[in-house]
Structure 1
Amino acid sequence: MSTETGLDQEAAQLRVKLVQALVDAGDLTDPAWRDAFESVPRHTYVPYFYDHTGRTIAADDPETRDQWLRAVHENRQLVTHRTDGSATSSSSMPSLMARMLEALQVTNGMHVLEVGTGTGYNAALLAHRLGDASVVTIDVSSDITGPARERLAAAGLRPLVLTGDGAFGWPDKAPYDRIMVTCRLRAVPLELVRQVPLDGSILAPLGNALARIRRVGALVAQGRFLPGGAFFMPLRRGAVDGQPTRRPALPDALGRPTRLPAAAIADNDFRFLVSIAVPGLTWQYDLDDERKPTGARVWAPDGSIAQLKADGTVAEAGPRNLWSALEGAYDTFLGAGAPGPERYGAVITEATQRVWLDTPGGPSWALTQ
């Protein structure tokens, strides 16, 4: 069995390959952030994870040790915390972390709040780049923050790690030049806007893409979405909040034709619009041998459910016609030329929050918590 020193050496070699892959893919371009990814070992912050069956893959398990070591040095998301059988925290894909950290646009001396501590790996990257005193990180559960704090301390890093509701930020240490949210939001909490100064910014996943929102006035902020998708677990504000909604009973009605094909639900650009226009959905797919959708079930917290069948028909049940709402979003999507997230923007005020397409006067959708 490898000693700890042997493990660290093996991990260092794999980390070099991972960082080079991020550079080659164009996800890591800033020399300061490259230094952080080269210096901060991901494996020390992810000593175990859960595979798709819920099995634990761990460094201290001889049967899974090699699988664990490979996985933590691959560009993949790893589920690291489960609550009542549901995944509730993870270590994000390194490529997405790199893109977010670069999009944060920090400079030396800036003060950063991270909402969503997770494993502590992202806080470690921030602390390496900016220094311990410049980083505050918060998560909802001590089951998450306790181990993260211990891992950071073992690595000689001591950013402020707090347990609390990330939607409220941490006003005691405000203002923050930048706030980085690493969990999906349905709307931007106004407390976070309060905790950045004028021209300070919040980088957060709104729906399934990243928005960079700049404060421009008293509780007024605006910004644009960045290209590409960003799939995060939802912000949790309690023990069960943020967990997937249980699937309602399947519709027993006969199917009807639909103008929304199965292929469209795999389109990330369309799915971004869905995440804004029809938020809070949970999906299950039927996939062919090429892992392309041939059918699906989608449901909402209000009990609405739709089933797209293999014959291309759809059936709906519950308090609203869920698939009809998706068809309406698809009509907008096609009519606008299949826009990606970079064509959308957002405006946040104390009274309203809206995401708009192309211009503030274009099609728009209200955001609600």
Structure 2
Amino acid sequence: MTLVDELGSAVPAAWRPALAAVRREWFIPDRMWVDLGDGHVAVDRAAEPDRWLRAVRSDRAIITQWDDGATVWPDTGAHATCSASQPSVVAGMLDALDVHEGHRVLEIGTGTGYNSALLAHRLGADGVVSVEVDPVLADQARKRLVAAGHPVRVVTGDGADGWPDAAPFDRVIVTANVMLGQFPDVWIEQTRPGGAVLAPLGTTLTSGPLVRFEVGEDRTAVGRPVPCYVDFMELRAQRRPIAPWPSDDGDGDSGTTRVRPWELFHLDPLWTIALRLPGCHWRHQPPVGDRGRHVLWLLDPQSGSWATASYGRHAGAGPWPVRQHGPRRLWDEAEAAYRWWDDQGRPPVDSWRFTITPDAQAVELG
């Protein structure tokens, strides 16, 4: 079965010829890691050719690098730093980009080169410039693109700088998560008026929406989320290490909440909470061993503040115990943001509007 067969109706008609002609296997290294549902598994093409090909032709993301290359196959590292995105997501992003014959596209984040090749099949190799910060990945992608017959120009450099030498572009597509409030305005400057920039936005608390910005004559870009959920690695220039998590929550101040704790961490309310708690992180600890409870953590590395809310294996009825520590009352802040979201009629993530001007970046309910 081919990848196009596997994806079926998920392939937009305009991109079906490219996805049929450009084989994903041309861009995947012989040694890779794939998530088969119970964690990432190392797969070697030489040892398991059938398993390797099935994974490559499936609608799965494939990890091709851990820890900027410091972790060597078959070990699994702490942070995935390059992947071949899930093909249905690739197709959805390309569809949202809305390219047409004669367009010139700047891609931020070459990765394996697969996305570049799909663009080049549609627009020609001269219509695409791709920027990759990792010199090893950039060199590998160049070679794969040439071998595939799509010699896209791959620039080794920081994608946050774009590529002014070939500007202006009709479209810019970003395949790395961009921190809200830190959107590189050079991408807007390097896009012609009437053009568009497609980028996934997020915060330290959660991945956010994929946003399509329309660039105006005054260099103001107004963006709306598109119906394609993505979860990309951070733009390398915007990575933020987090402080160590506390080993337990025993020294926090005790309290309770009548809001179901798990509801705060669903996609739509979590995005609202993320806007109110910039710089914070969260995690979930499931019941383990003698600890018969779920624990939801919030952490502000800058102030050292943290909060937990916990509930039993079967949730049960509230109130639920809360602990908070440090100068910030993080649970109180998160719950206030949740209640505001509830009062607004529970708007989904795609209700927000994003505006970027030369002087400011703003997000508001549309």
TM-score band, normalised by shorter chain: 0.7 to 0.9
Correspondences of 1:113-262 after superposition (within 5 Å): 113-186=106-179, 187-207=182-202, 208-237=208-237, 242=239, 245-249=242-246, 250-251=248-249, 252-262=251-261
**Greater alpha carbon shift after TM alignment, 203-212 vs 268-277:** 268-277
Cα RMSD (Å) of the superposition? Answer: 2.5
For the Cα contact (< 8 Å) 1:87–1:243, is it kept in 2? no
Corresponding residue to 2:23 among 21, 41, 48: 41
Q: CA deviation at 1:260?
A: 4.5
Q: Residue in 2 aligned with 1:78?
A: 62
Using the aligned pairs only, state the percent identity. 36
**1:17 aligned counterpart, secondary structure:** helix
Corresponding residue to 2:95 among 89, 97, 102: 102
Q: Residue in 1 aligned with 2:315?
A: none
> What TM-score does the superposition give when structure 2 sets the normalisation length?
0.82
Q: CA deviation at 1:326?
A: 2.0
User: Aligned AA for 2:2?
Assistant: L
Q: CA deviation at 1:280?
A: 4.6
Q: Residue in 1 aligned with 2:339?
A: 331
2: CA distance, partners of 1:40 / 1:281: 41
**1:90 aligned counterpart, secondary structure:** strand
User: Aligned AA for 2:5?
Assistant: K
2: CA distance, partners of 1:144 / 1:316: 43
Q: Residue in 2 aligned with 1:366?
A: none
For the Cα contact (< 8 Å) 2:113–2:144, is it kept in 1? yes
Correspondences of 1:290-369 after superposition (within 5 Å): 294-302=294-302, 303-311=304-312, 312-318=320-326, 320-358=328-366
Q: Which runs of 5+ in 2 are unaligned?
A: 71-76, 203-207, 313-319
Corresponding residue to 2:42 among 56, 65, 81: 56
Q: CA deviation at 1:254?
A: 4.4
2: CA distance, partners of 1:58 / 1:298: 39
**1:61 aligned counterpart, secondary structure:** coil
Q: CA deviation at 1:155?
A: 1.1
Q: CA deviation at 1:95?
A: 1.5
User: Aligned AA for 1:73?
Assistant: R
**1:56 aligned counterpart, secondary structure:** strand
Shift of the 16–200 alpha-carbon distance from structure 1 to 2, 3 Å rule, reads: closer
Q: CA deviation at 1:51?
A: 4.8
For the Cα contact (< 8 Å) 2:268–2:349, is it kept in 1? yes
> What TM-score does the superposition give when structure 1 sets the normalisation length?
0.81
For the Cα contact (< 8 Å) 1:295–1:310, is it kept in 2? yes
Shift of the 273–37 alpha-carbon distance from structure 1 to 2, 3 Å rule, reads: farther
Shift of the 109–142 alpha-carbon distance from structure 1 to 2, 3 Å rule, reads: same
Q: CA deviation at 1:323?
A: 2.7
Q: Residue in 1 aligned with 2:269?
A: 270
Q: Which has the higher strand share?
A: 2
2: CA distance, partners of 1:71 / 1:243: 31
Q: Residue in 2 aligned with 1:364?
A: none
Q: CA deviation at 1:55?
A: 5.1
Shift of the 338–17 alpha-carbon distance from structure 1 to 2, 3 Å rule, reads: same
Corresponding residue to 1:14 among 2, 11, 17: 2
